Amino acid sequence: MTKTIQCISPVDGRVYAERPCLSLAEAEAMAARARAAQPAWAARPLAERIAAVTAGVAKLNEMKPRVVEELAWQMGRPTRYGGEFGGVNDRTAYMAEIAEGALAPMVVENSDRFERRICREPVGVVFVLAPWNYPYLTSINTIVPALIAGNAVVLKHASQTLLVGERLAEAFHAGGVPADIFQNVVLDHATTEALIGARAFNFINFTGSVAGGAAMERAAAGTFTGLGLELGGKDPGYVMDDADLDAAVDSLMDGAMYNAGQCCCGIERIYVHESLYDAFVEKAVAWVKALKLGNPFEPTSTIGPMANKRFAHVVREQISEAIAEGATPLIDPALFPEDDGGAFLAPQILVNVNHEMRVMREESFGPVVGIMPVKNDDEAIAVMNDSPYGLTASLWTRDPERAAAIGARIETGTVYMNRCDYLDPALCWTGCKDTGRGGSLSVLGFYSVTRPKSYHLKKVTK
């Protein structure tokens, strides 16, 4: 019997989409087609590859109404936000713009005696395992540079966003990327691990849980396949005594609650200098009370359901445990009657929290944030670093030198000043500790999907 993967909609609990998994034989044939087609794609001029990829993204933009509706059904994001097209377009345009320079040979010497250079070659077949929370943005981060650099790409999307891979394949194929060069696949865990173990891929990019990342490493052990892993996060914000309070509240609370808190770099814990703490908390509570939890298709809804009721269950457990351990909830769930005990979850702010509580240590990935006062920068740095994760940190101050000095002491992949929850395509997107390893976007993003090849050419002289 053929195994199938289902997407259960958080909106109404029905099976929104269902697709059969490839058998191992079918999956092996798919990977073989990708490998066979890749050299011809890499041999095309760079300009042609860029044109096909950007045309594919343009075709995706033509699908916007359908994509936005499907995202709401699949993972609950309100349609008022219009999908992920702004980020997809910006990242694609930037990576296309820098491709020629990023992939150009590094010439060490070109004299009458020697030609010495380092070139960058595509790794071959890139396997992208994409998450559901930002299913287009996160996958584009690797797909676009991988294709531009001359690789074949195989995409396996999360079951919660089962249709996203189909839309991307439809768009890229319409834009001129050959069918064997970009393939969307539906695989179960066993087949996925078998392909990785058989060296079907030359680079693997995985975005997901820490446990999932560990499974990727185990599957790839001994194959010497490159891995890029973006895993868990518990990103902090620090509001200093000289911060613009209103701006800090607005940005940090949006960073905590947008997309029902289901953001890789969402704000999950906030530390406020004691001089601003009471005012910050008061304004933060007012900000959250103004949210409207509801059906994502309603134009008034500013926060929709979590992507799956089991995700919401984890957040409810963390909140309940924290309250039992002494935390104080500041948002009355009665203000959000749409909270149904399932995927629809009322947002929450917790104070009187500490780092013994699971809600301040483990990834929540939901609409809850804990807020703690701190006395000074040293205390803030200590609590920000008191985490197994390190993706981003958001610093709020009017003093760039202070922010830079603090940033140098934080164990994180990205330091923000006076903003949060944002990816700049010109900067490397990376993490440390249990958040994973590797990087995407920027010039370094091209380095992940290519390998260096050195040429040392001694010229014959008479």
Tokens, residue 13: 């609990």
8 A C-beta contact, residue 181 and residue 41: yes
3-state secondary structure of 7: strand
By DSSP bridging, strand 15-20 and strand 4-8 are: antiparallel
**Cα–Cα distance measured from residue 252 to residue 246, given in angstroms and rounded to the nearest whole number:** 10
Spot the catalytic one: 70, 84, 230, 363.
230
By DSSP bridging, strand 348-351 and strand 368-374 are: parallel
**Cα–Cα distance measured from residue 384 to residue 377, given in angstroms and rounded to the nearest whole number:** 10
3-state secondary structure of 110: strand
**Cα–Cα distance measured from residue 380 to residue 254, given in angstroms and rounded to the nearest whole number:** 21
Task: Kindly report the three-state secondary structure assignment for every residue of 363-409.
Answer: CCCCCEEEEEEECCHHHHHHHHHCCCEECEEEEECCCHHHHHHHHCC
Cβ neighbourhood burial of 61 (10 Å; 0-12, 13-18, 19+): middle
Taking phi over 0 as left and psi of -120 to 50 as alpha, with beta for the rest, 320 belongs to alpha
The residue length of the chain stands at: 462
**Cα–Cα distance measured from residue 121 to residue 143, given in angstroms and rounded to the nearest whole number:** 16
Closest CA to 33 of 179, 190, 220, 189: 179
Query: CA of 101: how far to CAs of 97, 120, 444, in Å?
Result: 9, 11, 12
Spot the catalytic one: 21, 264, 265, 428.
264
Spatial neighbors of 105 by CB under 8 A, at least 6 apart, are: 117, 118, 119, 120
Does residue 230 have an active-site annotation?
Answer: yes
Closest CA to 307 of 268, 266, 262, 339: 262
**Cα–Cα distance measured from residue 103 to residue 106, given in angstroms and rounded to the nearest whole number:** 9
Does residue 264 have an active-site annotation?
Answer: yes
**Cα–Cα distance measured from residue 221 to residue 305, given in angstroms and rounded to the nearest whole number:** 38
Closest CA to 342 of 18, 67, 76: 76
Q: Name the percent of the chain in helix, strand, coil, to the closest 5.
A: 45, 25, 35
Spatial neighbors of 88 by CB under 8 A, at least 6 apart, are: 57, 60, 136, 137, 140
Which sequence positions are flagged as catalytic?
Answer: 230, 264
